[in-house]
Amino acid sequence: MTTKQTFEKAMGQLEDIVRELESGDLTLENAMKKFEEGMKLSKYCSRLLDETEKKITLLMADEDGNIQEKPLDEGSD
């Protein structure tokens, strides 16, 4: 897995790995390798989602730092 990988590409690879594992056609050794690769991709995607959530939270904070939940379409006319 490269450091410049996009979330979408990582998710696509993860979906491919799940399909391969579910097929039951892999040897135990290959299944373990795919599982390990899938876990790395899963952690990568999870980290990206966490970072994105933090950025969104910062953008939603008011001038006092309070988070206010607002409708997604607020202010878009």
57: left (phi over 0), alpha (psi -120 to 50) or beta: alpha
Q: 10 pLDDT exceeds 70? A: yes
- Given CATH 1.10.287, say whether it is the number of domain 7-60: yes
DSSP 21: H
pLDDT score of 66 more than 90: no
Rg of the chain over all Cα atoms, to the nearest angstrom = 18
**Is the predicted pLDDT of residue 67 greater than 80, yes or no?**
no
Q: What is the pLDDT averaged over residues 13-42?
A: 97
